[in-house]
Amino acid sequence: MVNFYRKGYPVKVIVDDRLPLYPNPAGKYVDQLFNSKMSPNNAWWSVILEKAYCKMNVNCANINSGTALLSFYDLTGMPTMKHELEGMLNDDFYKIVSEATSKTWPMVASCVNGEYGL
């Protein structure tokens, strides 16, 4: 069972042992997981977490995109904040990161796909 939050309310998701695999052109499945993979030391937590997240959102197609901010909210149920760095002074950015660090808040950074050559 995996615990999430939806609109601030706790949601328990029970995960079965069926994992999504890539289909091949003949319509048969190959032994390759659809999205997340086991870690190099064979930990399954990311695969199970992704399956539970898909199930909470009805299916994997409904989580085709998203943000780390939304994921943090769904995992913790805690309020999240978004800061746009475009036009922000370095000192202002440093102040935000320093405050979050001093309060031991989790932080994540992301960028739009394709921007800045990424």
Question: How does pLDDT run across 32-49, given as a tens digit for each residue?
Answer: 777 777 788 888 888 888
CB burial of 84-96 (b: ≥16 within 10 Å; e: otherwise) equals eeeeeeeeeeeee
Q: Which amino acid is at 55?
A: K
The pLDDT of residue 62 is above 70: yes
What residues are paired with 10 via a beta bridge?
A: 5
| Across 49-78, average pLDDT | 83
Q: Does 16 or 112 have the greater pLDDT score?
A: 16
Q: Which alpha helices (DSSP H) does the chain contain, by range?
A: 45-56, 68-76, 90-102
Question: How does pLDDT run across 72-115, given as a tens digit for each residue?
Answer: 888 888 888 888 888 889 999 999 999 999 998 888 887 766 55
What pTM did the predictor assign?
0.66
> Domain residue spans in the chain?
2-117
